[in-house]
Amino acid sequence: MNTKKLASQGPQTKAIHSGEPNRYGVNGPIVTEIVRSSTFTFSNTEEMKEWAEGKNKAYIYTRYGNPTLSVAEKKIAALEGAEAAVVTASGMAAISSSLLAVLKGGDELISTAQLYGGTYRLMRDVFPNLGITVHHVPPDLCGIERLVNARTKALYVETPTNPTLRLVDIEKAVEFAKKHKLVALMDNTFATPVLQNPIALGYDMVVHSATKALAGHSDIIAGVSVGSEAWMDKVRHMIIYLGGSMDPGAAYLLIRGIKTLGVRVQRQCENAMAVATFLEKHPKVERVHYPGLKSHPDHALAKKQMRGFGSMLAFDMKGGLPVARRFCDRVQLFLLAASLGGVESLVILPIYSSHYNMSDEELKRAGVSPGTVRVSMGLEDKEDLIEDLKQALE
C-alpha cells in the first residue's frame, strides 16, 4: 500500500483502500481477513522481552490490538485526517475511555448540554463519583468564559446535536479550548467524516459511535476514538485497563461498512432534505429540525462548516405526545427503533429512548419536547418514504 499516495486521495478512495494490506500478487484476498485469534505467538523470549520493553509493536493479545482491528483503525484515522485511531466495543466505550484518558478526580469538564443521552448520563451519574465536575453550555456556547477555572481540563462538544440537530460553531469552540489550554474532544457521529473533519481544525480527539453511519447496517455495536499517536496511546491504555476492546468479527463488518460510507451519506442527505421539506409544509407538523432548511436557526453555520446537512432530522407534532405516538404507531416503511445511520429509515420518540430518565428541566435544556419525533434517514426511495409519512400523518 502506498500511504503517501493515499494521503492526497478523496474520502471514498481512502474509505476503500486505506489500512488494507498489500493486495497485489497471485492469490491475494481482496477482502480483509478476520483474525479470530485472541492471542499471538512469538518466535522466542527475546522478542517477548522486546515487546514488554516497548521495543517492538507486535500483537500479543486482542484486547491490546489485532490485525483486523488495525485495518479499521487505519481507515478511520485516514478518513478523519488523524495520525491514529483506537476501535472500541461501543461508542460509549470510546467516549468514556477518551474522557478518562484526559480527566482525573478534581478536574472539571465543560460540555455542550445537548448531547446523546448516554453521554449526558455518564457525565451526570458517573463522573461526580470519580470527583470530576461537569459544566454544561448551550450549543451557542453562551456563558462559557465564566465556567473556566484552573481545574478545567477539557471541552467536549457534539454537533449536530442529538436529537434536535442544533449546531456548535466548531471553530469557535476549538479556539476557546486552545485559548484556555483545554483538551478539545468532539463527537462526530451525526456528521461523519464525510461531512466534517474536526481534527483539521485543531481538535485533539474525535469520537464516534461506529454502530451508526460508519458501520452503516445496524448489525454491530462499535466505537472509535481518533487523534494524535500520543492521545491514542493513552486511550488504548484505558481500553486495555477498562476492557472495552472491539471483537475482530465486528471490526470486519465495520470495515465492510466504511467502504460505502460516502455513497450512503450522500443518499441519506438527499432523502433527509426531501423529507424535511415535505414535513415543513405539512399542516400537522409544528416545527422541523433540519440544518438544511432555511428556517433552521443554524442553517448559515451548517453551510459554513458542513459539506452536507446530514442524515438526521427531527420534528415536533401539533398536539404533542399523543399525536406523536399515534404517528409512530402508524408508519409502515419507517421502522420504530432506536439507533441511526443504517440503511433502513427509522423513527423514534427521544423521551422513550436516548432521553429517558431525564427531568423536565433536563429535557428543556436538551431541546427535547415530549412530541419530538427523531428520524434517521435510510436509503429507500424518497417517494416511498414520503408516501408512508403522508398516510401516517393523516
Interacting residues toward ligand PLP by CB under 6 A: 90-92, 116, 118-119, 158, 162, 187, 189-190, 209, 211, 221, 223, 354
Q: Say if strands 84-88 and 223-227 run parallel, antiparallel, or are unpaired.
A: antiparallel
| Residue 90 Cβ vs ligand PLP, minimum distance, rounded to whole Å | 3
| Residue 149 Cβ vs ligand PLP, minimum distance, rounded to whole Å | 27
- Pair 113, 137: CB distance under 8 Å: yes
Query: Which one, 225 or 369, has the nearer CB to ligand PLP?
Result: 225
What is the rounded distance in angstroms from the CA atom of residue 267 to the CA atom of residue 78? 22
The residue annotated as part of the active site, out of 153, 212, 236, 267, is 212
15, 33, 219, 259, 261 from 256: Cα distances, Å: 10, 11, 12, 6, 9
What is the rounded distance in angstroms from the CA atom of residue 1 to the CA atom of residue 18? 8
Query: Which one, 126 or 230, has the nearer CB to ligand PLP?
Result: 126
| Residue 338 Cβ vs ligand PLP, minimum distance, rounded to whole Å | 7
The residue annotated as part of the active site, out of 107, 187, 204, 316, is 187
The residue annotated as part of the active site, out of 63, 124, 172, 259, is 63
What is the rounded distance in angstroms from the CA atom of residue 41 to the CA atom of residue 47? 10
In sign, the C-alpha dihedral spanning 333, 12, 175, 296 is negative
212 part of the active site: yes
| Residue 191 Cβ vs ligand PLP, minimum distance, rounded to whole Å | 10
Query: Which one, 68 or 188, has the nearer CB to ligand PLP?
Result: 188
Choose among 137, 159, 161: nearest CA to 148: 137
| Residue 365 Cβ vs ligand PLP, minimum distance, rounded to whole Å | 17
Q: Which amino acid is at 305?
A: Q
Q: Hunting for cell 448531547 — which residue is that?
A: 115
Cell of 54: 516497548
The residue annotated as part of the active site, out of 14, 107, 116, 316, is 116
| Residue 346 Cβ vs ligand PLP, minimum distance, rounded to whole Å | 11
Q: What is the DSSP string of 171-190?
A: HHHHHHHHHTTPEEEEE-TT
Cell of 211: 454502530
Q: Give the residue nearest to ligand PLP (CB).
A: 91
- Pair 66, 196: CB distance under 8 Å: no
322 upstream amide cis, omega within 30 of 0: no
178 part of the active site: no
298 part of the active site: no
Backbone angles phi, psi at 314, to 5 degrees: -140, 160
Query: Which one, 116 or 156, has the nearer CB to ligand PLP?
Result: 116
116 part of the active site: yes
Q: Say if strands 285-289 and 312-317 run parallel, antiparallel, or are unpaired.
A: antiparallel
What is the rounded distance in angstroms from the CA atom of residue 154 to the CA atom of residue 110? 6
Catalytic sites, residue numbers = 63, 116, 187, 212
